[in-house]
Amino acid sequence: MDCKPRAKPILLFILLFILSFIRSALLTIHPSNEVNLLDSKASQGELGWISYPSHGWEEISGVDEHYTPIRTFQVCNVMEYSQNNWLRTNWIPRQSAKKIYVELKFTLRDCNSIPLVLGTCKETFNLLYLETDEDQGSRFREHQFSKIDTIAADESFTQMDLGDRILKLNTEVREVGPLTKKGFYLAFQDVGACVALVSVRVYFKLCPFIVRNLASFPDTVPMDSHSLVEVKGSCVNHSKEQEPPRMYCSTEGEWLVPIGKCLCNVGYEERGSSCQACRAGFYKSLLGNVQCSKCPPHSFTHHEGALHCGCEKNYFRADGDPPSMACTRPPSAPRNVISVINETSVILDWSWPEDTGGRKDVTFTVLCKRCRPGQRVCEACRSNVRFLPRAAGLQNTTVTVGDLLAHTNYTFEIEAQNGVSQLAPTMRQYAAVTITTNQAAPSPVTVIRKDRTSRNSISLSWLEPERPNGIILDYEVKYYQKQEQETSYTILRSKGCNVTLSGLKADTSYLLQIRARTAAGYGASSRSFEFETSPDSFSISSESSQVVLIAISSAAAIILLTVLLYIVIGRFCGYRRSKHPDEKRLHFGNGHLRLPGIRTYVDPHTYEDPSQAVHEFAKELDASCIAIDKVVGAGEFGEVCSGRLRLPSKKENCVAIKTLKAGYTDKQRRDFLSEASIMGQFDHPNIIRLEGVVTRSKPVMIVTEYMENGSLDSFLRTHDGQFTVIQLVGMLRGIASGMKYLSDMGYVHRDLAARNILVNSNLVCKVSDFGLSRVLEDDPEAAYTTTGGKIPIRWTAPEAISYRKFSSASDAWSYGIVMWEVMSYGERPYWEMSNQDVILSIEEGYRLPAPMGCPVVLHQLMLHCWQKERSQRPKFTDVVSFLDKLIRNPSSLLALVEDIQGLAESPGEVVDYPMFISIGDWLDSIKMSQYKSSFVAAGFSTLDSVAQMSIEDVRRIGVVLIGHQRRIVSSIQTLRLQLLHQQEKGFHV
């Protein structure tokens, strides 16, 4: 609706009407909106008015009510009949007045108070006027005057009043208009009253000059009629019209209905009714009647009237930044860069910069440089290096870089950028990480051919993988009967592209998968191929059957002989190894390993002379190349120091030095050095690297790479809550990758725990602690079991505790515990529960609840690692690829265990573990029995009600210790998980 007053005169009229009622509240009435044309009081001398006849009105000097001298006129011919006394003012110029007001102040005597005047005395007089264009001097003609009104008194006075000098003054005002001539006279006609004219004031009304809404409106004379005068305002200095300013001048000399307004220019603010320049240190960038604002942080102005503030040194404003925004600067470098190398790709992950420069628009750019050995300057990477999701403008703190060259050094410079980075090229900072890629594993075998089939053997051949990515060391052929569904399988290794599977059942379907192995490890398995052996009734001619029979019998004899030989040799070797029944070899479920001879871990104890093993796997270092700086810890055999290793023609490296304390026995020396013999066999970015040993001088030393952040458990405890989930997963991925390598090598660690993981400055985690006897001796966590072994109970799988069945699957259990340690920032597994209670509750099915803030998927992976049936635990290769998927798809980590709603959709399976029956059982299981009565007293008497509890509830019922609160809350989360799972299965609690 168009509400402009011009367009809707009726509306305006109504508005004016209403406004006229409320004008005292809304409108300003100028106190001096009356302009005098005549004021008799102002004249000190004679007024010189004409009296006719001369004995009528007479001019007298007197005083007013404030005793100010005034000129008055009196007449009091009350005793005589036919009075007609005139008093005429001087000629009064009209000026701009259209309508005038005549204000008379007078006293009039009450006829009753004068004796003997009955019939002649009057109590009124007449007011008249005459308009002329010029002063007519003393010329006076009665009939030319027009009567304005008869004036009567409201009050009269008596003798007594006069005696008391009390004046009863009447005031009467009359309007006269419209006036058209240049001037006028007023006349007072007395017809027999006793009247004293104390003062005469003639004025007109004016709408006076005013500034309203920053527009000035000049003095305006109102109309003589009741219509309003529309007046246009002009904007005050330093302001601009927003909407044309207008007002209306009423006949009463009042300004009505302000419309439109002016706005102060930029750099100026409204002060009083003018626009004033902003003071120094303030600015105004917008047109409008807002106040000047203080310069935002890191900006200033030294002059007045500023439109915006300039930035301090080293602070900037980006193009789109509003003047109200603080000046900002480029962010500091990203922190805690970690790299997870996967063959020829690397996942980089980092933390947000400490200082974002004061901006929210931080993105990250990753620059890839390839560094050749010996060259000081690195060159930009080839353009075919792939960045996922991209190299520049990253909003998340992770990127995957693929298609790198194998065995090549790369440096990645990760720069945090914001909207002002371009403006300050010299202030830009980046974090750099240098990595060396591994070799890419071979691609899968895709073409397999069946060459020959018999009743119990199949000969196959295949083509080399399309991308071998290195020299193929051998192929692994895994096969099993189709109907047995992989529960029992056999693995063969073949150096060439063919193999014969023998000892098969006749007329049976077999499924088979092949994978190639290079120095980079195994490639992905081929898809499953299906083959069938020939049926029993396979018909052959009697002649040939004899030949076949002879051939079979001779083959059987040869096989029998071979088997016998194998058993004899095996026994002999077995005897030598029987000192270590927990042989560190891969276990393949029910399957069996054949064709050894490829590079696997060699147990140093199988050597006649263990020092021979040391020299085979560890480099002897000259003690003069090693400088010890300080002691960083204590090991079982002596001190652990940090220092530097400078090998001839190599650059100096920081190293850790484990020393063997003086006075050792031969056995201690052997055990000490066995760790080097084991470590020296490994070469993996997530396994602590052996630099060498010193055995030819004293002290005997083992020198390894230096890990700046020490052991993982204490590192996490001192950085509680400081990492992103992705960073924690990156660490776990590194550990899993190291463990995959160890399990592929056939090495079972047996003491995998956060205390045995070391962390370097890039947050890369490496598996360490490989001593043979260390599980028995070195580890303070190890305790004697009923079977006599010394075992770190909290980290060890039940079958290893019960009957010393150590395997990569028992390492997987320990890995689950390490996951729990990492996600809880170094919390002690099972808290203060005794070892015996841990064993019992694990046996009863209890599993550690998810630590606070732990993503559902990670807790499920933990639970998967803690499957009672060891064949059902994940292989490390599966763990690595699962964690890689999580890192690539961080949104999968968003659902926390607290976030119970997310569970239904979360990937993976909820592992089944037992339900508690009562609050007491539940609290007992987490060693929090002391709170039983607190729970019950607060009304939490069912598991359902406990599952609804928040951390506030836990605090409210009186759990004060933070550690206890944490334990109870994380256990409540697990309880919810269980309840949900039980409900899904239709159980009622």
Distance CA 807, CA 804 (A): 9
Q: Per rule CB under 6 A, is residue 659 in the interface with ligand ACK?
A: no
Residue with Cβ nearer ligand ACK (212 or 766): 766
- Return the residues of window 679-698 that contact ligand ACK according to CB under 6 A: 688
Among 711, 814, 906, 974, binds ligand ACK (CB under 6 A): 711
Question: To 10 degrees, what angle do helices 856-865 and 808-823 make?
Answer: 150
Stretch that binds ligand ACK, among 146-154, 456-464, 701-709, 925-933 (CB under 6 A): 701-709
Among 239, 336, 686, 704, binds ligand ACK (CB under 6 A): 704
Residue with Cβ nearer ligand ACK (342 or 768): 768
Quickly count: other Cβ atoms within 10 Å of residue 843's Cβ.
12
Shortest Å distance, C-beta 633 to ligand ACK: 2
Residue with Cβ nearer ligand ACK (117 or 632): 632
Shortest Å distance, C-beta 582 to ligand ACK: 24
Residue with Cβ nearer ligand ACK (205 or 658): 658
Helix (H, G, I), strand (E, B) or coil at 169: coil
750 Cα distance to chain centroid:
41
Residue with Cβ nearer ligand ACK (457 or 653): 653
Question: Is cis: bond before 93, omega within 30 of 0?
Answer: no
Shortest Å distance, C-beta 890 to ligand ACK: 29
Stretch that binds ligand ACK, among 167-175, 223-231, 705-713, 979-987 (CB under 6 A): 705-713
Q: Per rule CB under 6 A, is residue 706 in the interface with ligand ACK?
A: yes
Quickly count: other Cβ atoms within 10 Å of residue 311's Cβ.
21
Shortest Å distance, C-beta 757 to ligand ACK: 10
Bridge partners of 71, per DSSP, are 61
Distance CA 482, CA 452 (A): 19
Name the residue among 893, 793, 904, 800 with its Cα closest to residue 850.
893
Q: Per rule CB under 6 A, is residue 758 in the interface with ligand ACK?
A: yes
Count of residues that interact with ligand ACK, criterion CB under 6 A: 13
Shortest Å distance, C-beta 527 to ligand ACK: 43
Q: Which long-range contacts (CB under 8 A, 24 or more apart) does 801-807 make?
A: 801/839, 804/581, 804/582, 805/582, 805/870, 806/582, 806/584, 806/748, 806/750, 807/586, 807/587, 807/748, 807/870
Shortest Å distance, C-beta 865 to ligand ACK: 24
Sequence letter at residue 60: I
Distance CA 216, CA 213 (A): 8
Shortest Å distance, C-beta 827 to ligand ACK: 17
Q: Per rule CB under 6 A, is residue 640 in the interface with ligand ACK?
A: yes
Tokens linked to 849: 């609840």
Residue with Cβ nearer ligand ACK (711 or 860): 711
Residue with Cβ nearer ligand ACK (635 or 851): 635
Residue with Cβ nearer ligand ACK (254 or 675): 675
Residue with Cβ nearer ligand ACK (661 or 927): 661
Name the residue among 700, 702, 670 with its Cα closest to residue 688.
702
E-only strand ranges, 159-214 = 170-176, 183-190, 194-205, 210-212
Among 292, 295, 441, 707, binds ligand ACK (CB under 6 A): 707
Stretch that binds ligand ACK, among 234-242, 459-467, 633-641, 777-785 (CB under 6 A): 633-641
Bridge partners of 61, per DSSP, are 71
Q: Per rule CB under 6 A, is residue 718 in the interface with ligand ACK?
A: no
Among 635, 680, 685, 874, binds ligand ACK (CB under 6 A): 635
Stretch that binds ligand ACK, among 7-15, 454-462, 630-638, 731-739 (CB under 6 A): 630-638
Question: Is cis: bond before 699, omega within 30 of 0?
Answer: yes
From the number of C-beta atoms within 10 Å of its C-beta (0-12, 13-18, 19+), residue 17 rates as exposed
Shortest Å distance, C-beta 723 to ligand ACK: 17
Phi-psi category of 365—alpha, beta or left, where left has phi over 0 and alpha has psi -120 to 50? beta
Distance CA 245, CA 261 (A): 5
Residue 39 annotated in active site: no
Shortest Å distance, C-beta 604 to ligand ACK: 20
Among 710, 771, 826, 829, binds ligand ACK (CB under 6 A): 710
Stretch that binds ligand ACK, among 45-53, 540-548, 565-573, 699-707 (CB under 6 A): 699-707
Residue with Cβ nearer ligand ACK (659 or 970): 659
Stretch that binds ligand ACK, among 145-153, 534-542, 632-640, 831-839 (CB under 6 A): 632-640
Three-state DSSP string of 365-389: EEEEEEECCCCCCCEECCCCCEEEC
Helices (H) and strands (E) in the chain, counts: 18, 50
Helix (H, G, I), strand (E, B) or coil at 708: coil
Tokens linked to 597: 């001879």
Shortest Å distance, C-beta 408 to ligand ACK: 25
Question: To 10 degrees, what angle do helices 808-823 and 725-745 make?
Answer: 170
Stretch that binds ligand ACK, among 135-143, 222-230, 691-699, 709-717 (CB under 6 A): 709-717
Distance CA 529, CA 510 (A): 8
Question: Is cis: bond before 178, omega within 30 of 0?
Answer: yes
Residue with Cβ nearer ligand ACK (710 or 816): 710
Name the pairing type of β-strands 85-88 and 69-76.
unpaired
Indicate which residue of 744, 751, 769, 811 is catalytic.
751
Helix (H, G, I), strand (E, B) or coil at 808: helix
Helix (H, G, I), strand (E, B) or coil at 745: helix
Shortest Å distance, C-beta 632 to ligand ACK: 5
Residue with Cβ nearer ligand ACK (758 or 812): 758
Tokens linked to 813: 């259990």
Q: Per rule CB under 6 A, is residue 633 in the interface with ligand ACK?
A: yes
Q: Are 760 and 715 in contact (CB under 8 A)?
A: no
Alpha carbon dihedral 405, 411, 414, 420, in 10-degree steps, equals: -110
Among 632, 725, 776, 989, binds ligand ACK (CB under 6 A): 632
Secondary structure letter of residue 931 according to DSSP: G
Sequence letter at residue 298: H
Name the residue among 177, 179, 247, 184 with its Cα closest to residue 213.
247
Residue partners of 149: CB distance under 8 A and separation at least 6 = 126, 127, 174
Residue with Cβ nearer ligand ACK (605 or 717): 717
Stretch that binds ligand ACK, among 416-424, 535-543, 613-621, 627-635 (CB under 6 A): 627-635
Stretch that binds ligand ACK, among 212-220, 708-716, 784-792, 928-936 (CB under 6 A): 708-716
Residue nearest to ligand ACK (CB): 633
Give the residue ranges of DSSP H helices in 578-665: 610-617
Question: Is cis: bond before 244, omega within 30 of 0?
Answer: no
Distance CA 294, CA 308 (A): 10
Shortest Å distance, C-beta 714 to ligand ACK: 5
Shortest Å distance, C-beta 768 to ligand ACK: 6
Catalytic sites, residue numbers: 751
Residues binding ligand ACK (CB under 6 A): 632-633, 635, 640, 656, 688, 704, 706-707, 710-711, 714, 758
